[in-house]
Structure 1
Amino acid sequence: MRLDGTGLIEHAGELAGLLADTVDAGASIGFLAPLDRAEALAWWRERAAEVAAGRLAVWVAFDGGLPSGTVSLVFPGKANSRHRAEVAKLMVRPQARGRGLGRRLLATAENAAAAAGVTLLHLDTETGSPAEHLYRSAGWTAIGTIPDYAASPDGVLRPTTIYYKRTGPAALTG
């Protein structure tokens, strides 16, 4: 389900739990563990304005009324960049992993990007993480690794790998 700004605010508490659980399970998505739920809640609430402005799109998969996973697209504001978007915050609750949810969320973002006229997607992920297997198997291309790019949830500096994928008509021609 794609959330608008109001929906994001309405589900911010549940999304904060998803974010905290994902970080505490070791996913390197920009936070250190243990992630305080109040910090996670504030982070999600701050995204509502970006969603309302069209700079961010957020999809959430629900299971039993609780979010089990999410993915976002970040749209750049520059005129020369409107053909691309960044896939961000693809996360799956630890208890929901291994059932293809991450792959379905990624496909949702890719399809929505293509439908919106976005022809190029990019992302970064911790080198050696389980997410790398997902991106490679979904047809993403690694373009390089940056050492000591970000701290893992336990505070250790880790490298990141940058990926891209063409979408829509450009995927067929180039």
Structure 2
Amino acid sequence: MVLNNNYSIFLIISCFTLLFLSTSAPNSIASTSQSPLQTQCLSFPNVSVTGNSNNENDNSNGGDGPKGLKINVHLSNQNTDNVGPLTIFIITSNGECAIAKINSDPVESVGQENELTFEFDSGIIDVNENFNACVETSNNFDFKCVLGTNSPSKVPEEIFLEVPIENVNSFTN
């Protein structure tokens, strides 16, 4: 009788445990509402973004303080007619991210190169510190990144990114 009683308690506890695990498992997996690159961002420093960005605010603090590193990001237009909106990321080695969104409009971008300039406050990316510059598609989060370094020279860093191809049909007519 004691064995049956212990077995019943074990069975009840096991059922509740399985029920708990099945309802809590989706919450423990990384959210699909954020892209893989967004999950790398730990903080968002004050950054001024200029160029073909459609950001309503540029995250700048509006101050006249000393500015730090400037990064000019050039996007190839080879694939921009194959993709939807794009997001450009600059990710520091400390996980600080500057983000700009671009709406891809093939009519406006034919024969042109999309360019954005990110200007960080001084001290965000130190001299000789590495950073990643990435372009990501908004539809399926395909991305391409390049590694850049803040050189000691006082000129902007030039980064060239190729837009990833998405939804390319392998069938030809």
Does the TM-score normalized on the shorter chain lie above 0.5?
Answer: no
Larger Rg computed on CA atoms? 2
TM-score normalised by length of structure 2: 0.30
Higher relative contact order (CA 8 A, sep 6+): 2
